[in-house]
With several copies, the nearest count.
Chain A
Amino acid sequence: MTEEKRRLIDENGIRTDGRRWDELRPLKIEVGVVKNADGSALIEWGKNKIIAAVYGPKEMHPKHLELADRAFLKCRYHMAPFSVEERKNPAPSRREIEISKVIREALQPALFLEDYPRTAIQVYVEVLQSDGGSRVAGVTASALALADAGINMRDLVVGCAVGKVDGKVVLDLNDIEDKEGSGDMPFTFMPNLNQVTLLQMDGLFTLDEFKQAVELGKAGGMKVYQAQREALLKRYFDGAAPDSSAPAAEMMEA
């Protein structure tokens, strides 16, 4: 976070992309997009385009790491070289390794891993185009991919980032707000169980702002939860049979 260089909210409370402080960017989710995967979802949120795919429960490799009382949950968050302004080296960066860990830990509370002892469940999050909030978008898509794979779940997991821009706590930062704002708090939770599963933060928040941010994150997340549920309904009850995957190409906006 660097010092703010220009006004990011105008005198009418309107942000650079036309939103008010508590509005989400455009959000579109489609479940079942990777034919070979056991479950998958494509999320387009702002300029984010992210596919999550799940394989498992399946045999654990290497064998000696399998857990006697539950499934081993693995997660890889990865960015395509062309997903960001400057080409990204395809080898996993330290940032990607950290995010892989926090996404895994954000999903795990929702899973009945004890139902699948000695197996592995693998979550892949591939960022095809990156915008602010890619990790919470990744969690949101992953939860759907897990549901699509038929893994037993306590709840879905939804995410939404909250940030601080021009001294105000606002919902769902876009790219410019992320770079020029003064704080960012990625936040995911289980909407029915009311449990926080991911929380990171940078910038400067007073205790009051921090409390506002948690509230706003929950409110925003509930809207995302609505979109999650619609995507699942569309996949399973809206004509399309569960076993037919729509190739991602058909859904991505040109």
Chain B
Amino acid sequence: MPKSFVVETIKRNQIVDALAKGKRLDGRGVNEYRKLEIKTHVIQKANGSAMVTLGDTQVLAGVKIDKGVPFPDTPDKGLLIVGAEVLPMAASYLEAGPPDESAIELARVVDRGVRESEMIDVSSLVIKEGKWVYSVFVDVNILNVDGNLFDATSYAVVAALLTAKMPRFVLDGDTVKDTGERLPLPVRKVPVSVTMATINGTLVLDPTEEEEAVMDARITLDTEDEGHICAGQKGEPGSFTPEQVLTAAEWSIAKGREIRQKIKEATAGG
């Protein structure tokens, strides 16, 4: 975000002063999330979809499932590909264009959380080994930016996958036939992303955009159902003490449990 030096300094002071009293400008405590809403089945032409609203951050994920050709080095696995576009309408300072390094990092980190948790059993997404597999594309459009895109995007991707219905494909000679049946994806786990930032030495959960503008560094940790950490990413040009990293790990496990429950409720019934 482009920053005016003077405005930034004033805002920083405000934020830091509040944090000194254990508070944030929007009234939250350091380890509280903003209001999280998850709405599924919003795009009928997608196999699965979810709109996530986290404070004023809003993202829409859509899943498209088709037959595809496996990668040569994983002939026995289906394709699962996460993409993210921060729509230029999502904030005043954005411009249309190919994804920049931040959008690429966003998509790759969200992808990592889904992939490393082994949320989807890609081994069972095979139609004929080496020839035909299921391809699962999850595309995310960020509609409005107000901080913590990593978590909002991750929840939208996970909720869209949890409620997706895939066609059952069968081999028909050399090609593939859609049986017309619809099945849920082979889900094994529900990974949850938890993002934290340090501001003047204080660790806070779920930073807003104005907090991100003054934060020193960011850390995202994903956990799965058993509380194991399955993906991580430090970002931004600051640093953490090792102690802060361990606190972040603990928070990610605790908060992850709460949010997993919310995601499960929002997606119950598929």
Q: Do chains A and B touch in the complex (CB under 8 A)?
A: yes
* Residues in chain A within 8 A of chain B (CB atoms): 1, 34-38, 40, 47, 49, 51, 53, 55, 58, 61, 68-69, 73, 76, 78, 80-87, 90-91, 94-95, 97-98, 100-102, 104-105, 108-109, 122, 124, 126, 128-130, 185, 189-190, 193-207, 210-211, 214, 218, 247-249, 252-254
Given contacts A195-B239, A204-B230, whether A36 and B60 have CB atoms under 8 Å apart is no
12 other contacts beyond A37-B89, A94-B107, with CB at 8 A cut-off? A34-B90, A49-B43, A82-B43, A98-B105, A102-B233, A105-B236, A108-B237, A201-B230, A210-B229, A210-B249, A249-B58, A254-B39
How many interface residues does chain B have, given as a range?
35 or more
Q: Is the CB of B237 within 8 A of A247?
A: no
A223 to B64, CA, bound (A): 35
Chain B at the A interface: SS class? mixed
Q: Is the CB of A200 within 8 A of B116?
A: no
* Residues in chain B within 8 A of chain A (CB atoms): 5, 37, 39-46, 49, 51-53, 56, 58, 60, 62-64, 66, 83, 85, 87-92, 95-96, 98, 101-102, 104-105, 107-108, 112, 115-117, 137, 139, 141, 143-146, 217, 219, 221, 224, 227-242, 244-246, 249-250, 253
Shortest 6 CB-CB contacts between residues of A and residues of B: A82-B62, A201-B232, A195-B239, A108-B237, A53-B89, A124-B89
Q: Is the CB of A214 within 8 A of B245?
A: yes
Residues on A with beta carbons closer than 8 Å to the beta carbon of B58: 35, 247-249
Given contacts A199-B219, A211-B249, whether A82 and B46 have CB atoms under 8 Å apart is yes
Residues on A with beta carbons closer than 8 Å to the beta carbon of B85: 90
Q: Is the CB of B234 within 8 A of A35?
A: no
Q: Is the CB of A98 within 8 A of B229?
A: no
Nearest chain B residue, comparing its CB with the CB of A54: B89
Q: Is the CB of A87 within 8 A of B88?
A: no
A207 to B109, CA, bound (A): 20
